[in-house]
Amino acid sequence: MSTLVIGGAGYIGAHVVRLLLERGEDVVVVDDLSTGAADRVGRATLAELDVAGPGAQESLEKLMAERGVTAVVHFAAKKQVGESVARPAWYYQQNVGGLANVLAAMENADVKHMIFSSSAATYGMPDVALVTEDTDCRPINPYGETKLIGEWMLADCERAWGLRWSALRYFNVAGAGWPELGDPAALNLVPMVLDRLARGERPKIFGDDYPTPDGTCIRDYIHVLDLAHAHLAAMDYLEGDAPIAHHVFNVGTGEGASVRQVVDTLGEVSGLDTTADVEPRRPGDPPQLIASPDRIGKVLGWKAEHRLEDIVRSAWEAWQAGPRRIG
């Protein structure tokens, strides 16, 4: 019996792979290595495969049968909002098409459990202080749309052939559970600030005239290791055949931090001068996005153990363990 982690060589996936290995599971990783790295999967078996590519369904089916896969954790997807606006059809091919191949393979190989990486991007610009899973989903870009469609596909497969599934709606993921598993891409606030500092440049703050206490946007930052534990909690919830009360879970802390607080915290933990340049607002940024973590706490018994300082410190330590060490 084994767990198949698709996208397991990526930033978040590799954390889940490591936790699964630590608890003694047999893990098979599928990854196209477009953004993932082979040295992140430890002693898990790695099959290099693009799940949205030709022949993917058949290859997955074969792998699932050969390795006795009983559950799939599906991370592999494109995740850049701006790119999704520029190349919508490609995002649908990759994210929706890739998931369709995985689900078709699971149906044929009789694999009944799936944990799906969803996103707070499914909500769009919610006008509420705390976002619950019942807040309306009105995604404002193709990336968020592909994630919401993914959830619908899982619900359809449940009705058709009894798939047992959870979708985790990630809020703002950052940090590192181990120094060698830091976020390798500079696409989000914490790594973007570190990337600027490594170039000897000042961090940028996109807008300080929002209706928030310090004028900068507020987000719910979640430590990647806490997020990884949420996947294991969701997998355990699907075990057995008890009816599933809830499928969709926010993964956040219920607490917000502003962009300026994040940048200042990085200055404190690193000892660097993180004085930032204020730039114009970035289009499409909601002023505030904070998760209500009530449901995941009650149903999965999960809660975040790490707060902002731990998150930022672990990101800093991972950065310093990498090739672009500062100072």
Active site amino acids: 143
Region 94-133 residues binding ligand UFG, contact defined as CB under 6 A: 119-121
Q: Please say which residue, 182 or 238, places its beta carbon nearer to ligand UFG.
A: 182
Query: According to the binding rule CB under 6 A, does residue 302 interact with ligand UFG?
Result: no
* Among residues 81, 194, 224, 227, the one that binds ligand UFG under rule CB under 6 A: 81
Q: Please say which residue, 188 or 320, places its beta carbon nearer to ligand UFG.
A: 188
Q: Please say which residue, 165 or 221, places its beta carbon nearer to ligand UFG.
A: 221
Number of neighbouring beta carbons within 10 Å of residue 71: 21
Minimum distance from CB of 54 to ligand UFG (Å)? 28
Angle CA(194)–CA(183)–CA(314) in degrees, nearest 5? 70
Minimum distance from CB of 28 to ligand UFG (Å)? 26
Query: According to the binding rule CB under 6 A, does residue 223 interact with ligand UFG?
Result: no
DSSP assigned state of 92 = I
Query: According to the binding rule CB under 6 A, does residue 172 interact with ligand UFG?
Result: yes
165: closest CA among 152, 177, 176, 183?
A: 152
The region that residue 240 occupies, defined by phi over 0 for left and psi between -120 and 50 for alpha, beta otherwise, is left
Query: According to the binding rule CB under 6 A, does residue 224 interact with ligand UFG?
Result: no
Strand ranges across the sheet with 257-258 = 257-258, 218-219, 288-289
Minimum distance from CB of 172 to ligand UFG (Å)? 5
Query: According to the binding rule CB under 6 A, does residue 67 interact with ligand UFG?
Result: no
Cα–Cα distance measured from residue 185 to residue 10, given in angstroms and rounded to the nearest whole number: 10
Give yes or no for a contact between 208 and 276, defined as CB atoms under 8 angstroms apart.
no
Cα–Cα distance measured from residue 144 to residue 124, given in angstroms and rounded to the nearest whole number: 7
Residue 82 CB contacts under 8 Å (≥ 6 apart), including other chains: none
* Among residues 60, 205, 233, 296, the one that binds ligand UFG under rule CB under 6 A: 205
Q: Please say which residue, 112 or 223, places its beta carbon nearer to ligand UFG.
A: 223
Region 134-153 residues binding ligand UFG, contact defined as CB under 6 A: 143-144
Residue 280 CA: distances (Å) to CA of 106, 141, 283, 285, 307: 46, 20, 9, 11, 28
Structure tokens at 72: 């799939």
Angle CA(171)–CA(69)–CA(233) in degrees, nearest 5? 35
Q: Please say which residue, 193 or 304, places its beta carbon nearer to ligand UFG.
A: 193
Q: Please say which residue, 96 or 106, places its beta carbon nearer to ligand UFG.
A: 96
Query: According to the binding rule CB under 6 A, does residue 206 interact with ligand UFG?
Result: yes
* Among residues 138, 199, 282, 298, the one that binds ligand UFG under rule CB under 6 A: 282
Cα–Cα distance measured from residue 113 to residue 13, given in angstroms and rounded to the nearest whole number: 17
* Contact positions vs ligand UFG (CB under 6 A): 79, 81, 119-121, 143-144, 172, 188-189, 192-193, 204-206, 217, 219, 259, 282, 285
